[in-house]
């Protein structure tokens, strides 16, 4: 609120937004050439004094728990290397990529930053990330205890663009208390989609509509992707094009139109709230549905928001559709002045046993298998359930696909829009599928 | 200072002296202007021109290419982007419904508050308040909570036995909810209307009343014409504001323009192109089309304004 401006009118925020956008352009105009010249003469500085003072900027998104554990890990690094200090920036999910992109455009990206698989290819292809291949090869970043699939999932165009901070896999989080209350069996790994929909239908019936079945995951790209993989198809071709056909997407939407008719899924507006909303708006937490489709490592976080006991299982269908995935990556900036130190810090965060203990499974299972054992005894009950699920799935995981291509984020949001037009009855599955694919293909190719 | 000392006598002296004084006066003026000039050039003018240049290139936010592509971005915008036209449609609908209703509300309340009674001062303040806070993120969040399925508005409806809707989460009502939020902020034009109403000479009303004119006649034939410059001013200002609506749409839809693109305002689409898809050049083209469109609309308003805006001082001349 702006008490200082006597003539504050509704235009101000819009105007401010534009000013920011314009300011950004100048910043970009001024800073880009500087950034370009600055990164020209990097290599000759490497032989400098090993004890020189180094300050690295580190940037990530996440909640308070992550802020705390990452800060502690970095403090620990400073303890061991007193000449290296960190300037930390962190913020909630919203706005993170706006900020990162603006800074990168200004040639001013943080030395170390967090990415996910929606953004890795985007940043790697646009040459923002530091090529870590050299450090992986000469073991400055030690990968011998990290599953190959996880490391490969950080490779873009043959280069190690990001190092997996942790591993997770899609997880269906369900309400144990509600299942018990209405005398329903708990969902199990390997249940078919049909079984899961029937479960939702029964829950809806037995609760008299109090609990509206299960979340409709037709807007969830993970669900669509796994469903495709269960039929030996993929969302993307190996060279990063959209692989899914109109027929498949239509069938996918039809599956959930059918579930809707059986009252196995909630009303469209509730689904919409969950689709755009955060953890606290997930229907399994608000008790409006018996199951939500999320990530396996989110169980602990969700459990904090409800008194009912939650459980986690795989997504329905053959678990071969699931794959071990890097939940998040650590990446370096191509314009950093201290690439060696950046690599060393990333190595420390990912591999150091003490660092692992501090981090627990907040970002997902530790990438380093030895650290998984070290961390195991320190976990809370919901965290243990997550680990148990991933251990169970470990032998069943299918081969991990390549990192999603540039444009993946857009595909995700277009799927939400398309699925919602079906849920709100604004389009038939066929129309929505065609519309979705047209937009998704444009975003992924462009 | 020496400058101000030289200015005074300069006028009375010879022309050469005057010129010299003016010459000395110039730089000083620019020095005093410099805080504004630096800001204006640095934050507004240069970036704007730069964005005009960008709109003819293929620059992406994280890219390094600035290849000249001519009018391609503009051509794509008009011929190859259904979302663009959808956003235009949403924005025009929003502005054309919200702005007239907001002005009507502002004028109506201003006329009620124009009479001096006990408490009108407080009431004016209260009605003005939404204008101060209404554009903020916090109010948009509250709005979202109020017009949700389980929100306060539906609880109110339930008292009358009416079953509500999930307003902000219903594609048929989300834009209307946004319009309501815009209309609710009628305080700023209301204050301007109030000032305008104070300027209308009371003798006119008295004379009309003596001649037997009823309240409607007095409103039609005195208030409206006398107020027309103020109405015009508010109309231009609010139309421009209406088209630029961003914050509330962004917050109410989590930046997606949803549900199902029903609140995809032009500025939201622009932001999405620039910062989610990183297509900065394309977004720059969108911004310039937007600027031209609003400029054109303003010119249009001014040209129609001649037909109905009545300036009292012209009358005297």
pLDDT attached to residue B22: 67
Contact A11 B241 (CB under 8 A): yes
Residue A30 backbone dihedrals phi, psi, to 5 degrees:
-75, -45
Helices A408-423 and A429-445: crossing angle in degrees, nearest 10, is 170
Q: Report which of B85, B61, B71 is spatially closest to residue B285, judged by C-alpha positions.
A: B71
CA–CA dist B250, B266 (Å, integer) = 11
pLDDT computed for residue A48 by the predictor? 64
8 Å CB contact of A14 and B247 = yes
Judged by a CB distance cut-off of 8 A, whether residue A126 touches chain B is: yes
Residue partners of A129: CB distance under 8 A and separation at least 6: A115, A120, A123, A161, A162, A331, A332, A333, A334
Tell me the torsion sign for CA atoms A22, A27, A33, A39.
Answer: negative
Please give the pLDDT value at position A21.
Answer: 52
CA distance linking residue A268 with residue B177, whole number of Å: 18
Measure Cα distances from A175 to A180, A281, A307 in Å: 9, 15, 10
Q: How far is CA A120 from the centre of its chain?
A: 11
pLDDT score at A366: 93
Interface test with A, best of B135, B143, B252 (most A CBs within 10 A): B135
- The predicted pLDDT at position A6 comes to 39
- Report the DSSP pairing between strands A163-168 and A325-332: antiparallel
Of the candidates A415, A437, A435, the one whose C-alpha atom is nearest the C-alpha of residue A256 is: A415
Q: Are A161 and A120 in contact (CB under 8 A)?
A: yes
Domains, chain B, ranges and CATH? 2-54 (no CATH), 75-316 (1.10.3720.10)
For residue A316, pLDDT over 90 is answered with: yes
Banded pLDDT at A278 (limits 50, 70, 90): confident
Contact A276, B258 (CB under 8 A): yes
The predicted-structure confidence for B110-149, as pLDDT tens digits, reads as follows 988 888 778 888 888 888 888 887 678 888 888 888 898 8
Average pLDDT over residues A27-38: 42
- Provide the 8-state DSSP code for A335: T
Instruction: Say if residues A223 and A217 touch (Cβ distance below 8 Å).
Output: yes
Yes or no: say if A12 and B244 are a contact pair by the CB < 8 Å rule. no
User: Residue B114 has what pLDDT?
Assistant: 85
Give me A192's structure tokens: 């078919």
Pick the closest to residue B282 from B83, B40, B20 (CA basis).
B83
- Indicate the SS3 state at residue B217: helix
Residues of chain B with pLDDT under 70: 1-24, 134, 312-317
Q: List the single residue in A21, A273, A443 with the smallest CB-CB distance to B169.
A: A273
Q: How far is CA B105 from the centre of its chain?
A: 16
Determine the Cα–Cα distance for residues B79 and B92; give it in Å rounded to an integer: 19
Residue tagged 């003005």 (tokens): B128
Residues 369-408 of A with CB under 8 A from B: none
Please check whether residue A228 is in contact with residue A234, taking contact to mean a CB–CB distance below 8 angstroms.
yes
Show residues of chain B in contact with A109, CB under 8 Å.
none
A413 touches B at CB < 8 Å: yes
| Predicted local distance difference test score (pLDDT) of residue A446 | 59
> What pLDDT does residue B221 have?
87
- Give residue A28's pLDDT: 47
User: What pLDDT, on the 0 to 100 scale, is given for residue B5?
Assistant: 41
Instruction: Give tens-digit pLDDT for B52-78.
Output: 999 999 988 887 788 999 999 999 999
Q: Which residues contact B226 (CB under 8 A, 6 or more apart)?
A: B196, B199, B200, B204, B310, B312
Residues of chain B with C-beta less than 8 angstroms from the C-beta of A101: 61-62, 275, 278
User: Cβ atoms within 10 A of the Cβ of A152, count?
Assistant: 15
Q: Rounded to an integer, what distance in angstroms lies between the CA atom of residue A56 and that of residue A333?
A: 11
Distance from the B226 Cα atom to the nearest Cα atom in chain A, whole angstroms: 24
Answer whether A25 sits within 8 Å of B50, measured CB to CB: yes
A58/A114 Cα distance (integer angstroms): 8
Confidence of residue A330 (pLDDT cuts 50, 70, 90): very high
**Closest residue to A23, CB basis, from B43, B185, B254:** B43
Pick the residue from chain A with its C-alpha nearest to B144. Answer: A273
A40–chain B Cβ distance below 8 A for any pair? no
Q: What is the pTM of this model?
A: 0.82
Paired with A175 in beta bridges are: A310
Q: Which domains does chain A have, with CATH numbers?
A: 50-168+326-387 (3.40.190.10), 170-322+407-445 (3.40.190.10)
Give bridge partners of residue A129 from the DSSP assignment: A333
pLDDT of residue A182: 94
Instruction: Write the CB contacts of A19 (distance below 8 Å, at least 6 apart in sequence).
Output: B43, B44
Answer yes or no: are the C-beta atoms of B258 and B172 closer than 8 Å: no
User: Does ipTM top 0.95?
Assistant: no
Q: A84-116, pLDDT tens digit by residue?
A: 999 999 888 778 988 998 899 888 899 999 999
Would you place residue A16 in the very low, low, confident or very high pLDDT band (cuts 50, 70, 90)?
very low
Whether the Cβ atoms of residue B132 and residue B187 lie closer than 8 Å to each other: yes
Contacts of B123 (CB under 8 A, 6+ apart): B113
DSSP A387-445: HHHHHHHHTT--PPPPPPPTTHHHHHHHHHHHHHHHHTTSS-HHHHHHHHHHHHHHHHH
Tell me what the mean pLDDT of segment A295-320 comes to. 92
C-alpha angle with apex B151: B147 to B155, nearest 5 degrees? Answer: 115
Q: Report which of A424, A425, A428, A416 is spatially closest to residue A439, judged by C-alpha positions.
A: A416
Residue A14: the pLDDT is 42
For residue B261, list chain A residues with Cβ-Cβ distance below 8 A.
417
A246: pLDDT confidence band, cut at 50, 70 and 90? very high
Q: Is A14 on the interface with B (CB under 8 A)?
A: yes
Task: Give the C-alpha separation, A189 to A171, whole Å.
Answer: 10
CA distance A64 to B220: 61
With both helix axes pointing from N to C terminus, report the angle between A221-230 and A408-423 in degrees, rounded to the nearest 10.
90
pLDDT score, position B18: 67
CA distance B137 to chain A (A): 9
pLDDT at B257: 84
Tokens 């329903």, residue located: A184
In the block, residue with structure tokens 């200004």: A106
Q: Are strands A112-115 and A54-61 parallel, antiparallel or unpaired?
A: parallel
Cα distances from B227 to residues A220, A306, B71, B201, B309, in angstroms, run 55, 58, 44, 11, 9
């Amino acid at each position: 609120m702006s008490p200082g401006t006597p003539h504050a009118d509704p235009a101000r925020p819009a105007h401010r937004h534009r000013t920011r956008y314009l300011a950004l352009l100048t910043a970009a105009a001024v800073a880009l050439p500087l950034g370009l010249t600055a990164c020209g003469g990097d290599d000759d500085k490497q032989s400098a004094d090993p004890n020189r003072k180094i300050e690295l900027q580190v940037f990530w998104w996440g909640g308070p728990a992550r802020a705390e554990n990452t800060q502690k890990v970095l403090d620990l690094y400073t303890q061991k290397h007193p000449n290296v200090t960190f300037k930390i920036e962190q913020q909630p999910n919203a706005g993170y990529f706006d900020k990162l992109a603006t800074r990168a455009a200004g040639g001013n990206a943080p030395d170390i930053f967090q990415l996910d698989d929606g953004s890795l290819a985007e940043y790697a292809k646009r040459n923002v990330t530091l090529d870590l291949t050299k450090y992986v090869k000469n073991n400055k970043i030690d990968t011998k205890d990290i599953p190959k699939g996880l490391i490969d999932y950080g490779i873009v165009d043959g280069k190690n663009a990001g190092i997996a901070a942790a591993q997770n896999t899609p997880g269906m989080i369900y309400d144990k208390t509600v299942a018990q209350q209405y005398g329903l069996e708990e969902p199990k790994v390997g249940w078919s989609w049909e079984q899961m929909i029937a479960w939702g239908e029964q829950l809806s019936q037995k609760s008299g509509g109090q609990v509206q079945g299960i979340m409709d995951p037709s807007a969830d790209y993970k669900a669509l992707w796994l469903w495709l993989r269960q039929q030996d198809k993929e969302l993307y071709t190996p060279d990063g094009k959209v692989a899914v056909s109109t027929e498949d997407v239509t069938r996918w939407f039809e599956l959930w139109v059918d579930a809707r008719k059986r009252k196995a899924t909630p009303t469209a507006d509730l689904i919409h709230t969950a689709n755009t909303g955060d953890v606290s708006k997930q229907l399994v937490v608000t008790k409006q549905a018996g199951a939500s489709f999320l990530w396996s490592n989110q169980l602990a976080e969700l459990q904090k928001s409800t008194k009912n006991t939650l459980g986690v299982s795989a997504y329905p269908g053959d678990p071969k559709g699931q794959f071990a995935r890097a939940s998040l990556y650590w990446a370096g900036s191509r314009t950093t002045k201290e690439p060696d130190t950046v690599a060393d810090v990333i190595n420390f965060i990912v591999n150091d046993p003490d660092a692992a203990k501090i981090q627990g499974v907040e970002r997902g299972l530790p990438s380093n298998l030895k650290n998984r054992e070290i961390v195991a005894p320190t976990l809370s009950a919901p965290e243990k359930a997550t680990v148990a699920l991933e251990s169970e799935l470990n032998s069943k995981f299918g081969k991990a696909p390549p990192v999603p291509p540039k444009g993946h984020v857009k595909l995700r949001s277009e799927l939400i829009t398309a699925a919602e037009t079906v849920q709100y009855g604004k389009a038939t599955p066929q129309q929505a599928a065609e519309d979705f694919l047209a937009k998704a293909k444009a975003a992924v190719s462009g | 200072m020496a400058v101000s000392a030289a200015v005074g006598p300069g006028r009375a002296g010879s022309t050469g002296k005057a010129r010299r004084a003016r010459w000395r006066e110039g730089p000083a003026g620019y020095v005093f202007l410099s805080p504004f000039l630096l800001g204006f050039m640095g934050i507004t003018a240069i970036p704007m021109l730069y964005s005009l240049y960008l709109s003819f290139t293929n620059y992406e936010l994280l890219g390094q290419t600035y290849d000249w592509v001519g009018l391609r971005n503009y051509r794509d915008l008009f011929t190859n982007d259904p979302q663009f036209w959808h956003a235009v449609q949403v924005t025009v609908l929003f502005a054309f419904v919200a702005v007239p209703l907001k002005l009507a509300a502002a004028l109506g309340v201003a006329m009620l508050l124009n009479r001096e009674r006990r408490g009108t001062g407080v009431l004016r303040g209260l009605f003005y308040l939404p204008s101060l806070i209404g554009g903020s993120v916090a109010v948009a969040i509250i709005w979202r909570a109020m017009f949700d399925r389980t929100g306060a508005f539906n609880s109110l409806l339930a008292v009358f036995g009416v079953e509500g809707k999930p307003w902000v989460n219903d594609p048929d009502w989300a834009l209307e909810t946004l319009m309501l939020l815009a209309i609710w902020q009628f305080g700023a034009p209301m204050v301007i209307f109030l000032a305008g109403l104070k300027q209308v000479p009371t003798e006119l009303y008295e004379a009309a009343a003596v001649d037997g004119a009823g309240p409607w006649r007095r409103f039609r034939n005195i208030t409206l014409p006398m107020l027309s410059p103020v109405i015009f001013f508010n109309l231009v200002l609010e139309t421009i504001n209406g088209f630029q609506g961003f914050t509330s749409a962004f917050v109410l839809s989590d930046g997606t323009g949803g549900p199902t693109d029903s609140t995809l305002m032009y500025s939201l689409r622009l932001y999405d192109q620039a910062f989610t898809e990183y297509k900065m050049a394309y977004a720059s083209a969108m911004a310039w089309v937007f600027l031209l469109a609003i400029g054109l609309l303003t010119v249009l308003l001014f040209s129609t304004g001649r037909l109905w805006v009545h300036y009292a001082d012209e009358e005297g001349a």
